[in-house]
Amino acid sequence: MVNYNIAEAFIEVLNANGVGFVFFNPGIDNVPVLETISKYRANGRKSPRGILCLDEFVAMTAAHGNYMASGRPQVVSVHSELGALQVGGALHNAQWGRVPVIIFTEILGPMERVNWRQEPFDQGLIARNFVKWDHQLGDNEDIVDILQEAFRIATTEPCGPVYLTLPREVLWNKSDTSTRVQALTTARESLPPVDTDALNQAADILIKAENPLILTGYTGRNEQSVGSLVELAETLCAGVLTADIRVNFPRTHPLSVYLSPDIGFRNPPLTTADVILVIDYDMHYAAPPTTPGPDTKIIHIDIDTLKRGVPLWERQPDILIKADSSQAIPALNDILRQKITPEQRQQFQKRFERLEDEHNRAQNEWQTLALSHADRTPISANWLCYCINEAIDEETIIVNQAITPSMIVAHQIQRNRPGTLLSCAGGCIGWALGAALGVKLAAPDRSVVSLMGDGAFIYGCPEASLWSAGFYRAPFLSIIFNNRGYGAIKGLFQEKYNVDNMGADIATPPDYAMVAQACSAYGRTVEDPADVRPSLKEALDHVQNGRPAVLDFRLEPV
């Protein structure tokens, strides 16, 4: 017998934690929770909305995107062992994206049904490498306590995924726990106060620096931090180099570092800075080819100082401060304001002018390059990105997993407003489609444009993503940078083994526009550079009218 009190308690815990959606792909085991959600919603009772995703990879990726746009904890429900396996690399992406997501599955399907028991040796092992906690509900444990513990762990910084397995008899047969929900507390652990002694030391080093650089990764997850980072950069007159995971700093601000188009993998600001202030950053500043100089001082402020999986073997920071940057940056601003003398401020101003000149020069180079490619056939990625930048408004959310054109995207598509650029922190390709679905569900009034390679379009399960986008009225535009192959891999083979072609071409690509049309989306293949602008406009109009759209831009083959 199904005991719906348990499933109701489950929903109430989700409500208490502000969960907006349950992204799911079902097996028989998911019935109690999903059916209770339907019942709740049919009766006008508060409940997360169930979003059916036709592939578990899309369910997890949509949750990832939804978190990035809403800041809310996420829930993904999949079918026991098989559903958990199908989530695949999307879980790795959620781990690196520090997504507070609870994935739950059941174990032990109905005995009479199948010839295999759905009892892997250790169900939690499927996810264990990628989660902060995995747990199987025990006989004497209460679902409310365990689910709440899962939320507490997932949402405590640094946030991350949690995996719960619920034995069938728990959701189907157990006593009433509804009184436990009423007593539920959703208090979060408060963060330790920022270490002001360490910040003072950092401030002294930064004030003495001749060529300071600020390097950020995911600071913009707190949108108000973008403003305080602007204040910090302007106070120090320091350039800001940011990863493209989020908008951490307005792209067109004069202190935003632009690299010249012909720079390749070199990164002069990183190698010439005498002090680097690193904030919320994962890639280690130790690895070649862009290593800071041996005497460069490194100050690192991060909510995640441990960096499990990214050891800094070759280079330790001089000052390491574990703190929430949304508190640490304003605190550092206060300290700097008090310490900096009027003479120093004047001195810094000269640096500002130099950096502004460099910024403007490089920005012009990128613009000139794009315009010089306006007639180039096949279509140039520079021209395409220039036109995308023109076609979107400043509130449009770009969901980006373009690989080989990433430098071009970062320099041609200028995102200034907090929250208008979201990218994948992990390495599993195929993220941009499902993530755009999750973003659109979180921000229904905003335009959402996802960018990806042709390889990534296929990895992203286009039929599943486009179907959910259509069915749940969450339309977005997908732009394919179609270079007819795995450009990144080919590049690596060339660099490491001097091999030109190792069979990583998609030389006669599928008709991606037809794939879109088959899913009732708008789809168009674009080969003529003169069609780039009109096709973008047309596709965005379709999206505006509620229809998902896919544009397959045929670029130079890699």
Give the nearer residue to ligand TPP in terms of CB position, either 32 or 405.
405
Interface characters, 54-73, with ligand TPP (x: CB under 6 A): --------------------
Burial class (CB in 10 A: 0-12, 13-18, 19+), 343: exposed
Residue 76's beta-bridge partner residues?
Answer: 23, 103
Shortest distance, position 490 Cβ to ligand TPP, whole Å: 8
What are the φ and ψ backbone dihedral angles of 546, each rounded to 5 degrees?
100, 10
From candidates 454, 475, 523, 536, binder to ligand TPP by CB under 6 A: 454
Do 48 and 73 touch, CB atoms closer than 8 A? no
Min dist CB 452 to ligand TPP, Å, is 6
538 backbone dihedrals φ, ψ, rounded to 5°: -60, -45
428 near ligand TPP, rule: CB under 6 A = yes
521 backbone φψ class: left, alpha, beta (φ>0; ψ -120 to 50): beta
| Segment near ligand TPP (CB under 6 A); pick from 280-288, 290-298, 301-309, 446-454 | 446-454
Nearer to ligand TPP, 427 or 503 (CB): 427
Say how many C-beta atoms besides its own lie within 10 A of residue 422's C-beta.
Answer: 31
Q: What are the backbone dihedrals phi and psi of residue 65, each rounded to the nearest 5 degrees, phi first?
A: -65, -40
Please, which residue, 6 or 428, has the CB nearer to ligand TPP? 428
For tokens 């306590």, the residue is 145
Contact residue for ligand TPP among 80, 105, 118, 404 (CB under 6 A): 404
CB within 8 A of 21, min separation 6: which ones? 48, 49, 50, 51, 62, 63, 66, 74, 75, 438, 441
Determine contact, residues 65/422, Cβ cutoff 8 Å: yes
Q: From the CB of 156, what's the least distance to ligand TPP, in Å?
A: 29
Rounded to the nearest whole angstrom, what is the least distance from the CB of residue 529 to ligand TPP in the complex? 19
Q: Contact at 8 Å (CB) between 78 and 56?
A: yes
Out of 427, 444, 503, 510, the residue judged to bind ligand TPP by CB under 6 A: 427
Closest contact distance (angstroms) between CB of 406 and ligand TPP is 8
Measured from the CB of residue 488, what is the shortest distance to ligand TPP in angstroms?
3
Q: Is 489 in the site for ligand TPP (CB under 6 A)?
A: yes
- By CB under 6 A, how many residues form the interface with ligand TPP? 19
Contact pick of 48, 453, 462, 548 for ligand TPP (by CB under 6 A): 453
Q: How far is the CB of 160 from ligand TPP (least distance, A)?
A: 20
Quick one: 114 or 287, whose CB is closer to ligand TPP? 287
Cβ proximity to ligand TPP: between 100 and 485 the closer is 485
Q: How far is the CB of 370 from ligand TPP (least distance, A)?
A: 18
Binding region for ligand TPP (CB under 6 A) out of 101-109, 133-141, 233-241, 421-429: 421-429
Nearest residue (CB) to ligand TPP, 379 versus 428 = 428
| Least spacing, CB of residue 6 vs ligand TPP, in Å | 36
Of 424, 389, 63, which Cα lies nearest the Cα of 218?
Answer: 424
Residue closer to ligand TPP (CB basis): 292 or 455 = 455
Q: Which residue is nearest to ligand TPP (CB)?
A: 453
Measuring CA to CA, which residue among 54, 92, 58 is closest to residue 428? 92
Q: Identify the residue whose tokens are 């005991």.
A: 3
Q: Are strands 74-78 and 275-279 parallel, antiparallel or unpaired?
A: unpaired
Using the rule CB under 6 A, is 249 a contact of ligand TPP? no
Nearest to ligand TPP of 138, 510 (CB atom): 510
Least distance (Å) between residue 451 CB and ligand TPP:
10
- CA–CA separation, 291 vs 270, rounded Å? 7
Measured from the CB atom, is 453 or 523 closer to ligand TPP? 453
Among 100, 109, 160, 455, binds ligand TPP (CB under 6 A): 455
Q: Which residues pair with 299 in a beta bridge?
A: 277, 319
Q: Which is nearer to ligand TPP, 104 or 130 (CB)?
A: 130
Return the bridge partners of 423, or none. Answer: 400
Toward ligand TPP, which CB reaches closer, 162 or 409?
A: 409
| Closer CB to ligand TPP, 108 or 489, in the complex | 489
Rg (alpha carbons) of the chain, rounded to whole number: 25
Structure tokens at 412: 């041609």
Distance CA 77, CA 22 (A): 7
Of residues 68 through 107, those in contact with ligand TPP by CB under 6 A are: 89
SS3 (DSSP) at 390: helix
Exactly one of 19, 329, 336, 403 binds ligand TPP (CB under 6 A); which one?
403
509 is a site residue for ligand TPP (CB under 6 A):
no
> Binding of ligand TPP at residue 429 (CB under 6 A)?
yes
Q: Looking at beta carbons only, is 13 or 452 nearer to ligand TPP?
A: 452
- Rounded Cα gap, residues 285 and 279, in angstroms: 12
Kind of pairing between the strands at 297-302 and 319-322: parallel
DSSP state of 515: H
DSSP string, 288-329: TTSPPPTT-EEEEEES--S-TT---TT---SEEEE--HHHHH
For residues 423 and 215, give the distance between their C-alpha atoms in angstroms, rounded to a whole number: 17
| 3-class DSSP assignment, residue 213 | strand
| Residue among 109, 200, 187 nearest 149 (CA) | 187
In the bound complex, what is the minimum distance in angstroms from residue 328's beta carbon to ligand TPP? 33
Identity of the residue, 164 or 456, whose beta carbon is nearer to ligand TPP in the bound complex = 456
Q: At its nearest, how many Å lie between ligand TPP and the CB of residue 92?
A: 9
- Cα–Cα dist 185/459, whole Å: 40
Beta strands in 259-402 (DSSP E): 275-279, 297-302, 319-322, 397-401
Site string for ligand TPP, 355-394 (x = CB under 6 A): ----------------------------------------
- Positions touching ligand TPP (CB under 6 A) are 89, 403-404, 427-429, 452-456, 459, 483, 485-489, 558
